[in-house]
Each structure stands twice: as structure tokens, then as C-alpha cells.
Amino acid sequence: MNATKSAPVAYRWDLDKTYVQTDFHTPRGLWRAATEGAADKRVVPGMRTLLRLLSERKEASIIVVSGSPTLLRSKIESMFELHKVRCDRLVLKDFGARLVRLRSLRAQVPYKLAAHLQTRLWLSEQSGTPAEYCFGDDAEVDALIYCLYTDALSRRVDATMLRDFLDHCGAYPDEIRSILEALSVLPRQDPVRRIFIHLDGRSPPSRFDAYQGRVTPTFNALQVALCLHEEGVLDASAVTSVAAALVTDFRIDALGLLGSLEDAMRRRLVQLHTAEPLLDSFGADSSIRQAGWSARFASRSLARLRSAYVIEPVLDPNRPLAYHELFDDERSFATARRMARNAAKRVPGLGDFLSGESR
Amino acid sequence: MPTRPTIVIDSYGGVDSPLRALRVAADLSLTRRVQIVLVGHAPVLHAHLATLSYDPANLRLVGTSIDYPPHTGDHLAEHRVLHRTLPLCLSLLEQGEGDALVTAASESVVWQVVTERCQRIRADIAPAMAAVIPTLARSSSDDPFALVLDVSGNSSANARQLRSWAALGGAYSRVVSGVRRPEVALLSTGRDQDQGPQSVTQAYRALQTHTDIQFVGNIQAVDIPRGLADVVVCDGFTGNAVRGVLEGVTQLTVEAARYAWRSKFAWRAGLRLLSSGVGMLKQVSEFQRYGGAPILGLQQLVFVTQPDASQLALENGVRLAAKCVDRELLQALELALEQVPKEPS
């Protein structure tokens, strides 16, 4: 399972809410995303350092598939240049071609699945059958799309099941045809090592239990880096750089770093023997030291990590996923979250109080 | 980089343990203003946490092997558990792993454990439990609450204790409520200097020389909601009874409004028209759920919320604790007690 240093590896990224902090739930946020310059784009804390470190690896290919419109291509490319991130393939959504197809404007599954398969074809031509790490967020259906992509490549989901599901998602017949064609060219393979889902929308990690452990929910870039360190992709100094970026960019303190580390251990993203040496590595970084990471803090942290509670896994990654139900659940979740967001804008009701429900 | 207050929450106390405490801890962890340490039974906490939105950077779970008491109203079983778990929470404060403790456990158990275990700021000065009571507008402060101490239920207090509690209450009011020169009163049966028990008349004379606070003399229980003082000092038994009566009256008023809401459509419509006024009543009636009752005079900061406190109340208890840590309440209390002469040995 571990990706060795010389073997080609592809890092497949979503953009909005995974790398860039975008608020596309409000007209103001949409307008801002469309008009702000490359230098003004706010990046998810620590992700800039993480992606830069990954893109610096010679054997790595960086693929970005985003639902942002093609109009933003130059701005996004400038942003990556500014961030010193090498992006090998950038796929954006062509809204102009979809204006007459309203379903296609909003639908993410057919668009992203097709883009993932196309870029996999490109990867195969470039470097054979590289392993892949996928990065998405909890705002839309990234987890489902990445799992479907994995299952389609490995043929755990066959063409009939895929056609049926895409139809259920509202894909147009030509979109389905194009996806199946791309898939038929690709050999049966199982390249996806991990699917990271950044919990930008503050979803509880258990929301992804339905994916039977195939998805790794993470709270911040440090947890992603820790997991990649555990898998041998990143070394301790890279993890320390990500932690230092969280300190300088996000003003996270030593307790915050330790809390993230402990949570990663608790959820089995990293093991104690991997985490332990990092305590010294963090202590060697001046910005982390300034955030309160003293020698005494490190020794207390070690005791804390050694006594950390580790959750026993209860999920079965080999169990087939029920995509129809997952898709419907994701849609219900999105609706519920939208309603909650709207409700939160209102002052808590007097009616509840008078009915005695506020107790 | 400034350090954030670290607040320990005991998840064993309260009628809905540990879920309410867990939800509060998870919610507050998303704010980044405070570091939360939640103490509870490890498997239960960890299993439930995964179903909540939280930020691990601001939340630490301290797991124990002690199971939660059954929610059957068996107070003895509950108290047995609390006698084991509260010392664990306090030990975190002693080890510097937390700055303050917030618990929804039974007040009497907390008082017993805390006064046995925690060291006093000054060995000769007894601690006191304080509570807030809503008042009419006061000239000295915008804060709608007055502080009453002691409300612990202890039956007696001598003049020295009353004097030291006045100093503690004054310092709390200054630091937390932002009252520059708090008006402090003694609770008695009348306003005259000679009215009331001997301890009160003696304390009256002693407090007249106090410079940090503005001593306004004696007041009666009926004057507390009128807002005649920022801090009201009395013995624990009286304070507990006064608080109970005021809470009962408030509950009665709220129940009357609820009855009107449920009974007739016309009354409900009327209440709608009065909604802003009823809203104020709601705000005031929930006073006992806003924040917690601090125990003052100890070297640790401990806040007790009611066992049936709402999630909001518990959250506010944590916010209050964080505010006290931020504003260095302990140091202010120590300083205030310097004005109280040492007991002759």
C-alpha cells in the first residue's frame, strides 16, 4: 500500500473549500470568488504548504479538477504560480457549453467523474499506472465521486451499474456515453490509496461512516500531512513545515497542534511510533516553539499521546457501497445543512421558549 | 502568542450526562477562543464525539474508566460517581492542565469535594459560593444581575467571614461585571445598623472602613431585585433560601406566561403583541441558567451550573469561566483579601 519515493504518484485535488476558501453559498461569496485577484484568494490553512511540498516531488503529478468556470483559468493558474505550486493538469467546468442544459450546470457527479477518468487516461499515457491520493471536501459530493471513480476503475462498479447510477444523478445520455467510453479504454486497476475529505463545512466525521472507511475525514492540513507521513509519502520535516504554516498563517497554538495530532491518533490516521518523533521535530522549529511548544510541553505531550484512546475500527472497506442511497443521503444532508444555515440567521424563537422546549 | 484559557468541563454532572457537556464542548471548540478539556468515560465520549461537529485543535478528551451513573434519580449512586470524578477534574487544574472547572454536578457534592480538596487563597478565610440575581436597572452598572454570596447552604457565618466575602464579591464584580466601585450591602432584616444578628452588626462596622468597595449598609431581601446593591453578602443558609424563593417566583411568572400561550388563541396573540416584553422576561427568567455560580476564595476557579441547566447555560458557564481566567480573577481576589486583617492566632 505504501507509495515508494521513486514510484510515480498522482495527487488529485478539488479546489474550492479543499484548497481555496470559497463561499459559494452566498451571492457575495460567488461574486468575490469571480472577481478577486490571484493574490487575494484565501487558502485553506496549511494547504498551500502541503500542496507545494507534494508538487516539489519529482515523481508526483498534480491534477486539479474543479467546478469553477473556465473563465477563472488564468486567475487560478496565476494563483498556483504565486504559491509556487506546480499544477500539471487543471480541469475547470465549461459553463458556456452547459448553459442550455440546466441539469448539467449544477450536477457535479457526471462532470467530475468524466474529468477524473479523462485525467486518468492522460496520467496513464504519462507515467503508466501511478498510485493516487485524492483530496476533496465535505461541501458537496466529493467523497461519493472519488469512491465511484475508484470503484469504476477497479470494476467493482460495472458499466450497467454505473449507467444506472449516472441516470439516477440526472446525467444526460451523451455524458453517460462519454464516461463509459473513457472507462472502457482504461484497464482494470485499483490506484487510489486514500481519499481525504477536508471537513470545511464542519461535518461530523461519522457522516462518512457510510463510505465504510474508504474516506479519511480530516480537520486540517496537519492531519492530512500526518496521514501521508504514516504512509511514507511525506517525511517528518514536511509535516513540521505544515504545522509551522498553521502556526504562522492560522495562529494555531501548541495545544492546537497537539490536539490535532492526538485526534489523528485517536482516529487511527497516524500511529504512536510515527507520532512520537514528531514531537522533537516540532520543538526544533522556531515558529512552533514560539507558539508554546517548549521541551516541557513536548514531554507532557508524549505522556498524553501514550495514553490516548484509540478508536477500534468497525467499518468494512470491502463492503460494496450503495451509491443510490449514498447520493440521496448526500442530497438530504445538503438540504438540511442549507436549512440549518438559514435558520441560524434568525434569532432563536420565542415560540420554543413559551412551549417549554428550550429546556 | 497569547495563551487561551483552558477550561475543564466535567461531563459526569447534570441530568443529561454526558451528551449535554459533550455538545457544549464540541460547539465551543469551533470558536477557537478557548481550549476545552472534557473529562468523561472514554468509550462513551469517543463514540459520541464522532457524531458531532468539533475542532480537535481546541478540544481535548480526558478519558476515565468510570462509567456514568444511571439516569434513574438515584442520587446516592450519582454522588458516589461524582466523589470519584470531581477530584480527577480538580487534579487537572492542580497539574496546570486547565485554568478553571465547570460542572453541572449537584451543588452540595461539588461544594463538599471542592472545599475538602482545594486550597484556600488564605487559610483563615472560608470560601463562598456566589449566584447572580436579576435586578432592576442600577446606577452603578449596566449589568442586569447582582451577585449574592454565600449561597452554599452553610448555616452560619461570623462577622469576619461576611467581611471577607464582601471583599471577594467586590473584586468579582469589579473584574467580571466591570463595576468600578461596586456597591456592597449586607443582607439583614432591616436597613438600620443595629438590625440583624450579631455577626451582621459586627460586619457592618468593619465594612465601613473598607476602601476598595462602596459599602451601602444593610438591605432587605426585597431590595435585591430592586437593584440597591451590586453585591449582597449573607450567610450560606440565608443566601440559599433567598435564591430559591427568587427562582420559584420567576418560574411561576414564566409558567403563567406559558399557560396563557397554551390556553387561548387570543392570549397567544396578545403575547405576540407583547413579544419584546416577554422576550425580556425570558432573558431575565433564565438568569440561573446564564453562566454558573463561582466558588470564590479557593486557589482554583470552579463554576457550578444547575444540573438541569440548558446547553446554553452550560456554554455560558464556560464562557464566564474563560472571562474570569482572561481577566485574572484569582489575582484580583488575592489582592482584595489583603484588605481583610489576618485572624489573631
- The CATH number given to whatever domain includes residue B17 is 3.40.50.10950
Q: Are the beta carbons of A309 and B63 separated by less than 8 Å?
A: yes
| B215 plus B280 within the same structural domain | yes
| B143 plus B274 within the same structural domain | yes
| A75 plus A208 within the same structural domain | yes
Q: Are the beta carbons of B279 and A260 separated by less than 8 Å?
A: no
Overall number of domains in chain B: 2
The mean pLDDT of A147-170, rounded to a whole number, is 95
How far is residue B212's CA from residue B209's CA, in Å, rounded to a whole number?
9
The mean pLDDT of A70-95, rounded to a whole number, is 92
Print burial letters for B136-160: b (CB count within 10 Å at least 16), e (below 16). eebebbebbbbbbbbbbbbeebebb
Domain range for residue B62? 1-125+297-328+338-345
| B304 plus B218 within the same structural domain | no
How many Å lie between the alpha carbon of A262 and the closest alpha carbon of chain B? Answer: 8
Q: Are the beta carbons of A202 and B258 separated by less than 8 Å?
A: no
> Is residue A128's pLDDT more than 90?
no
Show residues of chain A in contact with B258, CB under 8 Å: 354-356
Is residue A230 in a domain?
no
B29 contacts B6 by C-beta, under 8 angstroms: no
How many Å lie between the alpha carbon of A42 and the closest alpha carbon of chain B? Answer: 19
| Closest among A224, A230, A233, A231 to A199, alpha carbons compared | A224
Is residue A228 in a domain?
no
A182 contacts A114 by C-beta, under 8 angstroms: yes
How far is residue B24's CA from residue B10's CA, in Å, rounded to a whole number?
11
| A300 plus A157 within the same structural domain | no
How many Å lie between the alpha carbon of A99 and the closest alpha carbon of chain B? Answer: 37
CATH number at residue B211: 3.40.718.10
- Higher pLDDT among residues A346 and B77, named by residue: B77
Q: Among A113-117, A121-125, A140-144, B154-158, which is the least confidently predicted range?
A: B154-158
With a pLDDT cut of 70, the percent of chain A lying above it is 90
Smallest Cβ–Cβ distance between A350 and the set B42, B275, B308 belongs to: B275
Interface of A with B in 24-53 (CB under 8 A): none
**Which of A216, A350, A352, A357 should we substitute to test contact with B (largest number of B Cβ atoms within 10 Å)?**
A350
The confidence score (pLDDT) of residue B248 equals: 80
Print burial letters for A273-290: b (CB count within 10 Å at least 16), e (below 16). ebbeebbebbbebeebbe
Is residue B162 in a domain?
yes
| B221 plus B234 within the same structural domain | yes
Q: Are the beta carbons of B56 and A263 separated by less than 8 Å?
A: yes
The confidence score (pLDDT) of residue A346 equals: 57
| B52 plus B109 within the same structural domain | yes
| A133 plus A245 within the same structural domain | no
Show residues of chain A in contact with B52, CB under 8 Å: 204
The confidence score (pLDDT) of residue B16 equals: 82
| B154 plus B249 within the same structural domain | yes
Domain range for residue A161? 9-214+317-336
> Is residue A3's pLDDT more than 60?
no
> Is residue A105's pLDDT more than 90?
no
Is residue A223 in a domain?
no
Is residue B109 in a domain?
yes
The confidence score (pLDDT) of residue A125 equals: 92
Is residue B333 in a domain?
no
Is residue A116 in a domain?
yes
Report the residue of chain B nearest A258, measured CA to CA.
Answer: B57
The confidence score (pLDDT) of residue A147 equals: 97
Dihedral sign, CA of A245, A250, A256, A260? Answer: negative
| A20 plus A150 within the same structural domain | yes
| B113 plus B137 within the same structural domain | no
> Is residue A260's pLDDT more than 90?
yes
Checking DSSP bridges between strand B145-149 and strand B128-134, what pairing results, if any?
antiparallel
| B73 plus B131 within the same structural domain | no
Q: Are the beta carbons of A253 and B55 separated by less than 8 Å?
A: no
How many Å lie between the alpha carbon of B254 and the closest alpha carbon of chain A? Answer: 8
Report the residue of chain A nearest B20, measured CA to CA.
Answer: A359
Counted across chains A and B, CB pairs separated by less than 8 A come out at 78
**Which of B54, B306, B308 should we substitute to test contact with A (largest number of A Cβ atoms within 10 Å)?**
B54
Which residues lie across from B183 on neighbouring strands? B214
Show residues of chain B in contact with A259, CB under 8 Å: 35, 56-60
Show residues of chain B in contact with A264, CB under 8 Å: 56
Show residues of chain B in contact with A251, CB under 8 Å: 1
Q: How many residues are there in chain A?
A: 359
Angle, CA A270 vertex, CA A64 and CA A227 arms, to 5°: 10
> Is residue A89's pLDDT more than 80?
yes
Is residue A353 in a domain?
no
Say which residue the cell 467581611 belongs to: B163
Q: Are the beta carbons of A203 and B53 separated by less than 8 Å?
A: yes
How far is residue A184's CA from residue A178's CA, in Å, rounded to a whole number?
10
Show residues of chain B in contact with A352, CB under 8 Å: none
| A274 plus A199 within the same structural domain | no
Show residues of chain B in contact with A263, CB under 8 Å: 56
How far is residue A65's CA from residue A93's CA, in Å, rounded to a whole number?
9
How far is residue A66's CA from residue A55's CA, in Å, rounded to a whole number?
18
The confidence score (pLDDT) of residue B278 equals: 67
Q: Are the beta carbons of B282 and A291 separated by less than 8 Å?
A: no
Is residue B165 in a domain?
yes
> Is residue A347's pLDDT more than 50?
no
Is residue B342 in a domain?
yes
Q: Are the beta carbons of B57 and A359 separated by less than 8 Å?
A: no
The confidence score (pLDDT) of residue B145 equals: 84
| B280 plus B153 within the same structural domain | yes
Is residue A144 in a domain?
yes
Q: Are the beta carbons of A253 and B1 separated by less than 8 Å?
A: yes
How many Å lie between the alpha carbon of B298 and the closest alpha carbon of chain A? Answer: 26
The mean pLDDT of A146-170, rounded to a whole number, is 95
Report the residue of chain A nearest B307, measured CA to CA.
Answer: A359
The confidence score (pLDDT) of residue A357 equals: 42
pLDDT tens, N- to C-terminus, chain B (345 residues): 557 899 999 999 888 889 999 999 999 999 888 999 999 999 999 999 999 999 999 999 999 999 998 877 778 888 888 999 999 999 999 999 999 999 999 888 999 999 999 999 999 899 999 998 888 777 777 777 889 998 987 777 889 899 999 999 999 999 998 888 899 999 998 888 888 888 999 999 988 888 778 899 999 988 888 888 999 999 999 998 988 888 787 777 777 777 877 777 777 777 777 777 666 666 665 655 567 889 999 999 999 998 887 888 889 899 999 999 999 999 999 999 988 887 765
Show residues of chain A in contact with B35, CB under 8 Å: 255-256, 259
Q: Among A104-113, A327-336, B96-105, which is the least confidently predicted range?
A: A104-113
pLDDT in tens, A215-229: 999 999 999 999 999
Phi first, then psi, for residue B199 (nearest 5°) are: -60, -40
Q: Among A70-84, A139-153, B185-199, B238-252, which is the least confidently predicted range?
A: B238-252
Is residue A2 in a domain?
no
The confidence score (pLDDT) of residue B280 equals: 65
| B64 plus B174 within the same structural domain | no
The confidence score (pLDDT) of residue B273 equals: 75
| B55 plus B115 within the same structural domain | yes
- Indicate the DSSP class of residue B58: G
pLDDT in tens, B54-91: 999 999 999 999 999 887 777 888 888 899 999 999 99
Alpha helices, DSSP H, located in chain B: 19-29, 42-49, 75-94, 107-117, 159-172, 198-207, 236-263, 265-273, 275-285, 311-326, 329-337
The mean pLDDT of A106-135, rounded to a whole number, is 93
Show residues of chain A in contact with B257, CB under 8 Å: 354
| A196 plus A255 within the same structural domain | no
| B88 plus B196 within the same structural domain | no
How many Å lie between the alpha carbon of A204 and the closest alpha carbon of chain B? Answer: 4
Is residue B21 in a domain?
yes
Is residue A350 in a domain?
no
How far is residue B61's CA from residue B11's CA, in Å, rounded to a whole number?
10
How far is residue B158's CA from residue B201's CA, in Å, rounded to a whole number?
10
